[in-house]
A = this chain, B = another copy of it.
C-alpha cells in the first residue's frame, strides 16, 4: 500500500528501454571490451548522466538488459525421472548459447569488480542454481539420488561444465553434449 508516486518528473521508461537496447546492440557489434558508457549514451540518444543515475556500471546495464530479455521464468521440467528432467533442463539451458558474448562479458566484469560480482550472483547465477536444485531434490525424494550424495557438488558439476565450456569455447554445448552430461550425472548420483 506504499504510495509510489514521487515528487518531480518521473523516470522516462522510453529512455530506460533505449539504453538497454543500445547496450545490447553495442555489445553485439563491438564486444564487451569495447563497450563504453559514452557509446551507449550516444546510441541511445541520451545524456551520460541518465545512465549513471540509474546504474552503477556498464555491467549493471547489460545485466538488466539480459534479465529483461531472457525468459523471466526459468522452466523447471517435471518429467518423472531424473534422467529426463536433466536432459530437458540442459537442453533448455544450452539453447541460450546465443547469449555467450553477453554472459562472457558479465563474467569478466564480475571477476574485476567484486560489487558487481555479488549483484551478478544474486540476480542471475544463483537463480539458475535454484531451479536445478528443485529437480535434484525431487529426484532425491524419488530415491534416484543416493542419500550420501553431495547435491551442491552435483550442481557445481552441471554449471561448472557449462561455464567452463562457455568460457573456453573448446568443446560443444549442444544436445549430444547435454545427453552425455545427463548420463554422467545420473550415474554419479546413484
A92 proximal to B (CB < 8 A): no
Question: Contact: B160 with A33, CB < 8 Å?
Answer: no
Q: Which residue of B105, B121, B162, B185 contacts A168 across the interface (Cβ within 8 Å)?
A: B121
The chain B residue with its CB closest to the CB of A161 is B160
Give Cα distance in the complex from A92 to B53, angstroms: 47
Question: Contact: A121 with B170, CB < 8 Å?
Answer: yes
Give Cα distance in the complex from A121 to B171, angstroms: 13
Give Cα distance in the complex from A140 to B108, angstroms: 36
Question: Contact: A153 with B168, CB < 8 Å?
Answer: no
- Chain B residues contacting A171 (CB-CB under 8 Å) are 152, 156
- Chain B residues contacting A152 (CB-CB under 8 Å) are 171
Interface residues in A, total, Cβ within 8 A: 38
CB pairs A–B below 8 angstroms (23 shown):
A105-B111, A107-B167, A108-B111, A111-B167, A121-B170, A125-B168, A150-B180, A152-B171, A153-B161, A153-B177, A153-B184, A154-B184, A156-B160, A156-B165, A157-B161, A159-B160, A160-B160, A160-B161, A160-B165, A164-B164, A184-B188, A187-B190, A188-B188
Q: Which residues of A contact B (CB under 8 A)?
A: 31-33, 104-105, 107-108, 110-113, 121, 125, 150, 152-154, 156-157, 159-165, 167-168, 170-171, 177, 180-181, 184-185, 187-188, 190
